[in-house]
Structure formats: structure tokens, C-alpha cells
């Protein structure tokens, strides 16, 4: 593999991504829950990550707009969700990231969070991508499960059309028939050729969409192996959803990591990242 120097930019004071910056970790629960729980879990995650030489962004969604069932928990909504994300950001001094689903959400969300995230299903939505770019905030675009990695150039161009310059791309697996995802690690190299920092989403890559009788299934035990391979490819960041009790989480429980598994994945990532950097 030929080493590619992706663009490098600052997300928050002291936290950069791409271009040889320390590995970035985006981590948190799938969806925002009750305030005291979310604050305690964000603080615990922050303490875990301090053991490692990674930048850290706390991630949680205020609205899971693409749940399998209309009866599934979606989150607190935009207004309450942004209030909670702002409290986490100011109380803990940690950058925050959340999804946006419609162009109208982008301006208000950008006033609170450090990174706007475009869900994979929406990575071709022109008005949403342009609106995210107009905010001037960093934008993380998840690659659609249906797209070739090189096709993410179109998504990049749309954010840039809105004036956005700080763009990350995230791999989260590709559809392989029904209810199955696979990860072609060559796609990480292909997306890095586009010039933007590339993040690997280890937890969504092990999902089985709709595979649990109306909810999404998955296997968290498969995450560590995929992350090891991705870090060995020289990615710029890792995306990991984690929860203190994922089997009882309101969303994405089967693929979210326990605190113990999160520590294992981070320990392995640190060692492999150090080897990769020593070779390049």
C-alpha cells in the first residue's frame, strides 16, 4: 500500500485529524438517553480514552430517524438533544458529534456541536450536504452501504459547494445481500486517495440490518478484528459505539461495545497504530 497524506485540520483545541495527526476516536452511545446517565457515561468514556494517545470526540444522536420499526426509540429530539450535547461539551470540555438528517437542522446543530455527521443512508442528499458545508463546521460523511468508495467524491464536492473545507469520510460496511454487511479494506485506501481523513466505523460494520425481528442485529465480538485490520491500513480515526449495558440499550445494542471490549479494542489499536507509523 502506498502511504497517502490526507488533509489535516483541527476539530477542537488540541484535537486534529488526518495528515499524520494522532489517531482520532469518535465514541459514545448510539442515541442520547436520560441526562444523568448520558453525562456519567460520557465522563467515563473520557477517563477511558485518556489512557491512550488518541484525540476524542463524544458521539450520540438526538434523533435516530432511520430505525427499522416506527415504534423504536428515536431519542429526545433536536431541541432537548442539543441542550444535552451542549451540557456534555461544556461540563466535560470534550468535543461532540451528532447526526443531522435534514438541511433545516444544520444551522442550529452547528451552533452546539463540533462535527456534523451525515448518516450513510443520506450521503447523496445534495441539499443536506450543501447545508452542512455552509455551517463551516467539520463534516463527517458516512459512506453509503450501497456506494463504491470512489463515489464519495460526489459527497465531498457537495459539502465543498456549500463552502465546507474540513471533511472526513467514514467506512461502515457495504451491503452483501440481505441483512449482511462486509468490509472491503481496500476501500479505506481508495477513500484516502480522495484526500480527506478516513475513519473506520467498527461497530456499525458488524450490524445485521433488520435482522432481529424488526430491529437491527449484530455481533460486537467481531469488532476487534475489523478494527485491527483497519488501523493496519493507516486510517485516521476509529468510530466505536459503546454502552455500559448494551444488551439493554434502546438502540444498536447487539453491535455496541461493553466498556471491557472497548478497552481491548483501544489497546490493540494503539499497538498496531504505533507499528504502522514506525513503518511509514
In a domain, 7, yes or no: no
The 8-class DSSP code of residue 257 comes to B
* Count of C-beta atoms within a 10 Å radius of residue 12: 17
Helical (H) or strand (E) element with 9: strand 9-12
In a domain, 13, yes or no: no
Short-list 241, 173, 253, CA closest to 217: 253
Instruction: Measure the CA dihedral 163/61/273/219, to 10°.
Output: -140
CA distance 127 to 104: 9
Instruction: Measure the CA dihedral 94/203/22/137, to 10°.
Output: -50
Short-list 147, 188, 148, CA closest to 168: 188
CATH classification of the domain holding 240 = 3.20.20.70
Cell digits of residue 204: 456499525
Short-list 64, 66, 166, CA closest to 114: 166
CA distance 175 to 147: 9
In a domain, 3, yes or no: no
Return the axis-axis angle of helices 223-232 and 259-279, rounded to nearest 10°.
Answer: 20
Whole-model pTM: value is 0.94
- The pLDDT profile of the chain, 280 residues, written as one tens digit per residue, is 446 789 999 999 999 999 999 999 999 999 999 999 999 999 999 999 999 999 999 999 998 766 555 666 677 899 999 999 999 999 999 999 999 999 999 999 999 999 999 999 999 999 999 999 999 999 999 999 999 999 999 999 999 999 999 999 999 999 998 889 999 999 999 999 999 999 999 999 999 887 565 567 889 999 999 999 999 999 999 999 999 999 999 988 899 999 999 999 999 999 999 999 999 8
Q: In total, how many domains does the chain have? A: 1
In a domain, 187, yes or no: yes
In a domain, 90, yes or no: yes
In a domain, 12, yes or no: no
User: Is 54:23 a contact under the CB 8 Å cutoff?
Assistant: yes
Helices assigned H by DSSP within the chain: 35-49, 78-92, 106-110, 126-134, 152-161, 186-192, 223-232, 259-279
In a domain, 36, yes or no: yes
In a domain, 10, yes or no: no
The confidence score (pLDDT) of residue 83 equals 97
The confidence score (pLDDT) of residue 209 equals 81
* 19 φ/ψ sector (left φ>0, alpha ψ -120 to 50, else beta): left
**Domain range spanning residue 68?**
21-279
CA distance 165 to 163: 6
Q: Indicate the pairing of strand 174-175 with strand 167-171.
A: unpaired
* CA dist list (Å): 233 to 146, 185, 275: 22, 8, 11
Q: Rounded to 5 degrees, what are φ and ψ at 116?
A: -95, 135
Amino acid at each position: 500500500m502506498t502511504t497517502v497524506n490526507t488533509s489535516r485540520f483541527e476539530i477542537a483545541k488540541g484535537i486534529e485529524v488526518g495528515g499524520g495527526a494522532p489517531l482520532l476516536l469518535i465514541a459514545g452511545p448510539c442515541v442520547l438517553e436520560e441526562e444523568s446517565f448520558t453525562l456519567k457515561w460520557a465522563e467515563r468514556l473520557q477517563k477511558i480514552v485518556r489512557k491512550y494517545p488518541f484525540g476524542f470526540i463524544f458521539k450520540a444522536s438526538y434523533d435516530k430517524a432511520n430505525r427499522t420499526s416506527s415504534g423504536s426509540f428515536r431519542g429526545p429530539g433536536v431541541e432537548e438533544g442539543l441542550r444535552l450535547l451542549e451540557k456534555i461539551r461544556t461540563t466535560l470540555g470534550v468535543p461532540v458529534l451528532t447526526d443531522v438528517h435534514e438541511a433545516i437542522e444544520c444551522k442550529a446543530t452547528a451552533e452546539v456541536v463540533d462535527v456534523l455527521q451525515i448518516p450513510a443512508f443520506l450521503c447523496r442528499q445534495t441539499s443536506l450536504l450543501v447545508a452542512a458545508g455552509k455551517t463551516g463546521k467539520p463534516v463527517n460523511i458516512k459512506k453509503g452501504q450501497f456506494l463504491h468508495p470512489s463515489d464519495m467524491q460526489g459527497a465531498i464536492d457537495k459539502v465543498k459547494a456549500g463552502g465546507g473545507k474540513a471533511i472526513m469520510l467514514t467506512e461502515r460496511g457495504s451491503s452483501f445481500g440481505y441483512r449482511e454487511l462486509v468490509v472491503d479494506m481496500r476501500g479505506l485506501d481508495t477513500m484516502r486517495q480522495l484526500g480527506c481523513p478516513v475513519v473506520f466505523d467498527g461497530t456499525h460494520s458488524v450490524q445485521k440490518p433488520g435482522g432481529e425481528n424488526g430491529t437491527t442485529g449484530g455481533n460486537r465480538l467481531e469488532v476487534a478484528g475489523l478494527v485491527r485490520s483497519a488501523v493496519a491500513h493507516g486510517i485516521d480515526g476509529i468510530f466505536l459505539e459503546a454502552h455500559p449495558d448494551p444488551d439493554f440499550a434502546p438502540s444498536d445494542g447487539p453491535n455496541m461495545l461493553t466498556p471491557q471490549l472497548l478497552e481491548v479494542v483501544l489497546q490493540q489499536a494503539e499497538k498496531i497504530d504505533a507499528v504502522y507509523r514506525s513503518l511509514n
